[in-house]
Amino acid sequence: MTMRDTFHRTIDYLRISVTDRCDLRCKYCMPETGVEPLTHGDILSYEEILRLAKCFARLGIRRIKITGGEPLVRLYVIDLIGQLKKIPGIEQVTLTTNGTHLAKYIWALDKLHIDGINISLDTLNPVLYKEITGRDVFAKVFSGLQEALKYPAIKLKINCVPQGLSGQDMAAVAGLAKDHPVHVRFIEMMPIGLGKEFPLIRESDVRQELEQTYGALQPFHENLGNGPCRYYSIPGFQGKIGFISAMSHKFCSNCNRVRLTADGKLKTCLQYDRGMDLKALLRAGRPDHEVELAILQALESKPGEHHFTETFVVDQEKKSMFQIGG
Ligand code: SAM
Ligand code: SF4
């Protein structure tokens, strides 16, 4: 089956957040204090996630990304990933992580043939890394990346959110794609949660910085992932340089995704608090066909595009990114 929304977009990609907890406190994502985490009973159990994933797969979801909070802080998440990979119809299961626990789990992720890992790394400067994330763990994250590089079957991408900080050094981050077979993607800050307080560093600003160091970026037209990233080549680089620019280049017309939050809400757009409480349906004992119908009904509320640049928006999402999963 193919799932289409009211704008005829094919929806085949699901981001599943497995927790709202995180061991970092990236300034643009999660406040240092005042966060009341969801309780164990609030979040979907692995059995519930698997049941929903099977419903989604029957409807047409083909690729799943595991996210959070920090997904690797939830106990036995590796087992969940292994189970998701076995669901008929699911072609890819990938993970996005801050990398703090990667060194420990990478062998297991390789063993279950994970289809890709995105590592969030905003700078290679350890002092600034601590300032951005609130934790002095750059060395741990970097050794996680080094460890992951020992597994050539795993496709690695680095995600970096430019913040205009002196010393963040986008060219150095991009240089990871020169020295290693990884793609480095620069993600424009979106005005969601704490991200609203941050300046927007545009794709064009980053490109200028990179071109000063490496020369002209050459458009690369092959599709390297599930999403809206546009890639460029730099001669001599092993990996590509990508840009995910929700603010500079709206990509909503090609949106292929929905999101499942850790507490079981189906979200149809990042910006809007619209969707469906699927956990409530599961816990009310509803059968799969009713859950699937509810998913299709929720899809009808998927908007045609975001309106991040408008000041007043009805149904605006009030959650922060760590509660949504990026
Ligand atoms: N903890 C994991 C990680 O950091 O990769 C997964 C969850 S995190 C919310 C997913 C991604 O969202 C990270 O790459 C993070 O940098 C990005 N992110 C968080 N807030 C953002 C914002 N306001 N705009 C753009 N990206 C954001
Ligand atoms: Fe945690 Fe990821 Fe948010 Fe940073 S971006 S606080 S690592 S959830």
Q: How far is the CA of 319 from the centre of ligand 1 (A)?
A: 13
Strands 230-233 and 257-260: unpaired
Q: 158, 321, 323, 324: which to mutate for ligand 2, most atoms within 8 A of CB?
A: 321
Q: What ranges do the domains of the chain cover?
A: 13-324
Q: In terms of pLDDT, which residue wins out, 319 or 215?
A: 215
Statement: residue 308 has pLDDT above 70: no
Ligand 2 atom with minimal separation from the 69 CA: 8
Please give the pLDDT value at position 50: 98
- Cross-strand pairs, 231: 220, 242
133-147, 176-190, 267-281: the lowest-pLDDT one: 267-281
Q: 72, 322, 323, 324: which to mutate for ligand 2, most atoms within 8 A of CB?
A: 322
Give me 198's structure tokens: 């941050």
Please give the pLDDT value at position 317: 73
For the stretch 55-58, contacts whose Cβ atoms lie closer than 8 Å and that sit 24 or more positions apart, written own/partner, are 55/288, 55/291, 55/292, 55/295, 56/14, 56/295, 57/87, 57/88, 57/89, 57/90, 58/1, 58/89, 58/288, 58/292
pLDDT digits (tens, 9 = 90+) for 146-181: 999 999 999 999 999 999 999 999 999 999 999 999
Residue 251, class by beta-carbon neighbours within 10 Å (0-12 exposed, 13-18 middle, 19+ buried)? middle
97 lines ligand 1 (CB under 6 A): yes
* CATH for the stretch 13-324: 3.20.20.70
Mean pLDDT of the chain: 94
pLDDT digits (tens, 9 = 90+) for 187-227: 999 998 899 999 999 999 999 999 999 999 999 988 887 77
Distance CA 8, CA 1 (A): 14
Do residues 163 and 198 make contact, with C-beta atoms less than 8 angstroms apart?
yes
pLDDT digits (tens, 9 = 90+) for 113-125: 999 999 999 999 9
